[in-house]
Structure 1
């Protein structure tokens, strides 16, 4: 395992986590205020700019993994991730189905159907299933990837990912009339559409020093690429060509990679992450899992309050961050809490001193 820590990872986790929370806070505003017209378009435009959040977690997970395990996967690699990532995913999938069962007075059949959808990734935690596919793929790639030229692998994976989403959205599926379990799985969960993210992060993690040198040398080009790719996403969205507000979009691939590079470069210039923000990083998985629940609960208290949309957006954003952190803190005090919300640092003096060091176990 590499001894050199990537301190930038804390910032990237914080940015990705807060972007996802803010994306869903916007969705709450659109739903609870019934926003229409130009104002709705403005909110959707803002959301499109934040959709890098979920695929960035794929990039973060892979770059940490490949940086730490360049040549060999340690014993217990998958066991740890099943215990502290996949099991909490299943627990939360069941929790959200149970919450709807209670709130909507559903039948057992309704609950079972919703649970089935959740378990195959048809809820906001779907990225866990994507990452787990790459954990398995990594066991093969770590042996064979170094035999091929990076440019060739990057080019092929880019064509595969972009081609997959284009084919799926425009030729293979009618999303209005088809919503079977299998259709929904292939539309978002199968690793093929996310392959380019994995390959990019694979080479960045294995060649961390060269990667950081590349960022420093080409930061202006990366900035231009970020702006250009963001404009491409907005152009395609507002043209009506592809109006699905989802991270599983072909045009989001270059935008996410460029903005990941840009944020990584900026984070490399910051020597120290404030401890309060580090807590967001180490709690990021639990925040990701719990923030929609917190925002739903918050909406019940402010449903009739006389506040503006922008005030409501801020409240929902803060609730999506603070409430999950409080819940995570209390759940983590219990012996089996890690199987509900993932692994978090034990609050001791020793851990407090180590909060600034990214751990490989924090795969998301």
Structure 2
């Protein structure tokens, strides 16, 4: 969009996106810190809580993919598609995503090698590392970065198509759902691709949802922001339907795994896929709406803390499994249920706090910290909150 002088008009900053990132990283940490407890504590009276935290919080990775797409299309769709633009895009991703991915893949691979594979030959070690690096398998959580890289490769192509045929932008959501579910069903009945969750087609619905909202955000903003000023009967009904469907899907998703883990009840795999998709897909929108409410209504200290957590979320995502691994080397010696509950809760707190401190200090004091943790955006707030907030939303 151009202004009267012919220059491109700068798009509105959206500081609430940092809060959504904060919600997403808290979800990731919840899932990972309860991964052991969700099976080890089956006999506990509080198993339902561990299962809930492990399943209901699975919105983290899909939300990050949605946010990444939202930001990319929000920033790039109105800009002329030139070689310089695409070149700059890939340069940023190389520096701030791919290099940290390679570094952490090497670090985690080396750590696992020292712990479990010291007798492996050099040739087998090198071949194994290259294979894992090229498939996102150097450590369990790095598949997300691998997926993101795939989407970065696809992004210029999809952007070109949307700009070439603007009508496609209106069909972005059904296209994304169709592509994702075509992959799911074809893989189930024909392909049986191993580790399908490491391929971008498994998350295409989230990517296209982010694209649609990023492109049409100025028109959709009134519907996304829950406030008295924005309320109409049609919007209120839409909000109620959205939140009701999200909660229903999320609790059903939790229930399926509760029955499976506790009683061994098996359901059709497509049902698990459907509930996960509904739960996390609708969750991206509810989290976005929640972020607008929290940013506007919560105490400034809380929102500032969440903003900083969101800004550091990529680095925290990369390093937190190391602290979980370290923490789990020292399980409680006592068999007391209370001690066990405290220990599992401590894993979440330990991973969050240690990761946050290390990333924050590294970014602040270590030169070239982007090699490890990418481009950490700076957040500034004014006393008037939204009216004069400045946040660079093109993070990573």
TM-score (norm 1): 0.83
**CA 1:192–1:19: 2 relative to 1, 3 Å:** same
Residue 265 (1) aligns with residue 289 (2) = yes
Shift of 1:108: 3.9
How many Å apart are 1:79 and its aligned residue?
A: 0.7
Q: 1:191 to 1:166 in 2, by over 3 A?
A: same
**Aligned counterparts of 2:134 and 2:310: Cα–Cα separation in 1:** 25
**Residues 33-72 of structure 1: matches in 2 within 5 Å?**
34-37=40-43, 43-72=50-79
Which residue of structure 1 aligns with residue 213 of structure 2? 204
CA–CA distance in structure 2, aligned partners of residues 259 and 52 of structure 1: 7
TM-fit CA distance, 1:10: 1.2
How far off is 1:83 after superposition?
A: 0.6
Contact 1:161 1:195 in 2 (8 A): yes
Structure 1 residue 308, shift from structure 2 partner: 2.6
1:102 to 101, 110, 114: 114
- Is residue 280 of structure 2 the alignment partner of residue 256 of structure 1? yes
Shift of 1:231: 4.0
1:327 aligns with: 358
Which whole-Å CA distance do the structure 2 matches of 1:86 and 1:342 have between them?
9
Structure 1 vs Structure 2 CA RMSD: 2.9
Cα distance in 2 for residues equivalent to 1:41 and 1:106: 40
Report the equivalent of 2:4: none
Distance 1:275 1:3, change over 3 A: same
CA contact (8 A) 1:233 1:252 kept: yes
Contact 2:34 2:344 in 1 (8 A): yes
Contact 1:58–1:131 (CA under 8 A) maintained in structure 2? yes
The alignment status of 1:137 with 2:163, answered yes or no, reads no
Calculate the TM-score normalised by the size of structure 2: 0.77
Which whole-Å CA distance do the structure 2 matches of 1:242 and 1:299 have between them? 33
2-structure distance, mates of 1:171, 1:41: 36
CA distance in 2, matches of 1:17, 1:253: 19
CA 1:144/1:94 → structure 2, altered by over 3 Å: closer, same or farther? same
Gaps of 5+ in 2: 1-8, 227-234, 260-264
Deviation string for 1:17-59 (max 9, x for gaps)?
011011111014357xx33347656533431211111111000
**Deviation of residue 266 (structure 1)?**
2.0
Aligned twin of 1:359: 392
CA distance in 1: counterparts of 2:38 and 2:175, whole angstroms: 39
Distance 1:292 1:115 in 2: 21
How many residues of Structure 1 are paired with residues of Structure 2 in the alignment? 344
Tell me the residue number matched to 1:343. 375
Larger radius of gyration: 2
Cα deviation code 1:298-350 (max 9, x no counterpart): 1224443665332122211111111112222343322232111222257xxxx
Report what 2:102 is aligned to. 90
- Corresponding residue for residue 3 of structure 2: none
1:2–1:281: structure 2 CA closer, same or farther, 3 Å change rule? Answer: same
